[in-house]
Amino acid sequence: MKKVLSQAKKMAEHAEVFQISSKVTPVHFEANLLKQIQSKENVSTALRLIKNGKVGFAQANGSIEPKRLAEMAAETCEFGMPAKFDFPKPKVYPKIETFDSQIDNVTIEDMVKLGEQLIDSIRQHTPDIICEVSATKGIISVDIINSEGGEASYSKSFFNLSLEGVLIKDEDMLFVGDSHSSCHPLLDFTPIAEEVIKQLELAKRNVSIATKQMPVIFTPHGVASSLIAPLVSAFNGKLVLDGASPLKNKLGEQVFDKKFSLWDDATIPYQVASYPSDDEGVPSQRTPLVDNGVVSHFFYDLQTAALANTQSTGNGSRHGGLPTPSPSSLVIGKGNIPFRDMVRDIKEGLVVELLIGAEQGNILNGDFSGNVLLGYKVEKGEITGRVKDTMVSGNVYQILKQIEAIGEETRWVEGFLSTPCLYCTGLSITTKMG
């Protein structure tokens, strides 16, 4: 890395080298049986330059001559955007726990056994189910150095266990599933087994539902698959700067229900989306986005923050190119209503566990519309069965303006979102006739 930096300094006034290396071991089960064991090692080196005030960028996956990488980056400078930021000087980073050395002690045999136990426990409940399971462990190391003397470095361990099950009866397919991630090894399969068995129980019977407006309880998976994509884009500092976010001029305004709070938090110990430094050397932090319904902040990287006359929130993240604002862990504040009380309150409504396609509408405007892959009908305060061939449509700004109730329990879904159940009204349910 130092060689790349010194080559780069010969060609440009300022430079930054970012290196990430990873070693990941996924174990896959297909159709209830062990199928494939993988071992993946990868090293990427990214160079960002500022030359004559303009940003250049190049990345190499695998080995490359330092001089060649510097030349590739320098070649793009001529066309690059004007740099409005400086690379961070030496900083003090918060001590965020993201590494558990126990991950090294987990053997492939342990992971195989974990998958087998998980599949066995689900098949004891439902013998005909066909499961795909992945158990994955990994370690990544991130190093950043820049020409201003800034240096950041950390390692992260992670473990993920996930299951997707399909149960086919005639031409009816029922999909169930869950996954858990942590920086600690997860060697207990029971939380996933319990969740999936709960889904199978609630979906035992198919029931029909009417086309009309009705209340919906979004479970944590339901929140992740329906409501999060529009919010992530609306709070992205870059979309706010462009005017492509409906929240552009709403800072300090009451846009959401008073019960609703949302924050981005990269500092939670042992969460897979946590880090002490973001991908451009800015210390991580907790950033309130919605405080009791009031829009309180957006998330930024260095360049976007400079253009918007504010500070980076430590959300510069790389996805194969230059850093761009991305959430770390998102947390929705919990409420005080148990799930069963929400159900009891509904005369006719729906529990949404998973929508597919919801993020494929005009999410910039907050619109979502998706097919209920897993959801249950509520009649007179009780869950009566599974609903299918049904779409749920709404607008996040309308439905989160007045939330009926927020759940008292929260959980992590998809490794980056901690959320309770949200009980909302005014959703359009459209279903097949006959």
Residues 346-405 interacting with other proteins (rule: CB under 8 A): 356-357, 359-362, 364-365, 367, 369-371, 373, 388-389, 391-393
Q: Closest separation between CB of residue 307 and other proteins, Å? A: 8
Residue with tokens 């504010």: 310
Q: Which is nearer to other proteins, 29 or 263 (CB)?
A: 29
- 18-57 mask for other proteins (x: CB under 8 A)? ------------xx-xxxxxxxxxxx------------xx
- Type of residue at 361: G
Neighbours of 433 (CB within 10 A): 6
What does the alpha-carbon distance between residue 206 and residue 357 come to, in Å, rounded to a whole number? 21
Neighbour-count burial of 381, counting CB atoms closer than 10 A to its CB (0-12 exposed, 13-18 middle, 19+ buried): middle
Residues 107-136 that bind other proteins (CB under 8 A): 108-109, 112, 128, 130
CB 361 within 8 Å of CB 395: no
Residues 302-331 that bind other proteins (CB under 8 A): 307, 320-322
Q: Pick the piece of the chain touching other proteins (CB under 8 A) from 188-196, 242-250, 275-283, 337-345.
A: 242-250
CB 378 within 8 Å of CB 218: no
Torsion of CA 310, 311, 315, 318, to 10 degrees: 90
Q: Which is nearer to other proteins, 292 or 398 (CB)?
A: 398
State which of residues 59, 147, 317, 326 lies at the interface with other proteins (CB under 8 A): 59
Q: Pick the piece of the chain touching other proteins (CB under 8 A) from 142-150, 200-208, 406-414, 425-433.
A: 425-433
What does the alpha-carbon distance between residue 267 and residue 277 come to, in Å, rounded to a whole number? 10
Q: Closest separation between CB of residue 129 and other proteins, Å? A: 10
Residue with tokens 């490794």: 415
Going from the C-alpha of 259 to that of each of 37, 221, 336, the distances in angstroms are 46, 20, 10
Q: Closest separation between CB of residue 388 and other proteins, Å? A: 7
- Phi, psi at 393, each rounded to 5°: -130, 145
Neighbours of 190 (CB within 10 A): 10
State which of residues 63, 101, 105, 309 lies at the interface with other proteins (CB under 8 A): 63
Residues 265-284 that bind other proteins (CB under 8 A): none
- Type of residue at 421: C
What does the alpha-carbon distance between residue 79 and residue 186 come to, in Å, rounded to a whole number? 47
- Type of residue at 356: I
Q: Closest separation between CB of residue 124 and other proteins, Å? A: 19
State which of residues 14, 221, 238, 377 lies at the interface with other proteins (CB under 8 A): 238
263: enclosing H helix or E strand? strand 262-265
State which of residues 101, 127, 243, 380 lies at the interface with other proteins (CB under 8 A): 243
Q: Which is nearer to other proteins, 30 or 104 (CB)?
A: 30
Q: Is the dihedral of CA 183, 188, 191, 196 positive or negative?
A: positive
Residues 164-223 that bind other proteins (CB under 8 A): 166, 168-169, 171-173, 175, 211
Q: Which is nearer to other proteins, 81 or 204 (CB)?
A: 81
What does the alpha-carbon distance between residue 277 and residue 13 come to, in Å, rounded to a whole number? 24
Q: Pick the piece of the chain touching other proteins (CB under 8 A) from 9-17, 66-74, 97-105, 342-350.
A: 66-74
Q: Which is nearer to other proteins, 21 or 97 (CB)?
A: 21
Q: Which is nearer to other proteins, 79 or 380 (CB)?
A: 79
Residues 69-108 that bind other proteins (CB under 8 A): 69, 72-73, 75-76, 79-81, 108
Q: Closest separation between CB of residue 320 and other proteins, Å? A: 7
What does the alpha-carbon distance between residue 98 and residue 159 come to, in Å, rounded to a whole number? 12
State which of residues 222, 246, 276, 420 lies at the interface with other proteins (CB under 8 A): 246
Q: Which is nearer to other proteins, 197 or 391 (CB)?
A: 391
Q: Which is nearer to other proteins, 31 or 382 (CB)?
A: 31
Q: Pick the piece of the chain touching other proteins (CB under 8 A) from 3-11, 68-76, 152-160, 328-336.
A: 68-76
Pairing state between β 262-265 and 294-295: unpaired
339 binds other proteins (CB under 8 A): no
CA angle 146, 149, 151 (to 5 degrees): 65
CA angle 116, 118, 121 (to 5 degrees): 105
